């Protein structure tokens, strides 16, 4: 199996939020995460972005 670059890894991380990744893609990402802290962080941060935009959409009484 070919190892992913960080550029490829971040693309898959993003696509994983929009479609079901193939088995091979998930495995390649997992392997990449084992030795790449930058992409582990990017993975958590992109997931956080989704939570943040959802929270933005909630009406907040304090922002009147």
Please state the closest distance from residue 18 (CB atom) to another protein, in A: 5
The site that binds another protein (CB under 8 A) totals a number of residues, namely 35
2, 7, 20, 24: residue in contact with another protein (rule CB under 8 A)? 7
1, 18, 20, 24: residue in contact with another protein (rule CB under 8 A)? 18
Q: Which two tokens stand for residue 37?
A: 């802290």
HSE at residue 44, side-chain half, CA atoms within 13 A, is: 6
Q: Is 22 in the site for another protein (CB under 8 A)?
A: no
For 45, the enclosing helix (H) or strand (E) is helix 37-57
């Amino acid at each position: 199996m070919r190892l992913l670059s960080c550029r490829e890894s971040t693309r898959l991380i993003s696509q994983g939020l929009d479609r079901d990744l193939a088995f091979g893609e998930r495995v390649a990402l997992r392997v990449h995460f084992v030795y790449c802290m930058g992409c582990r962080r990017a993975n958590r941060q992109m997931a956080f972005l989704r939570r943040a935009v959802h929270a933005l959409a909630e009406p907040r009484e304090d922002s009147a």
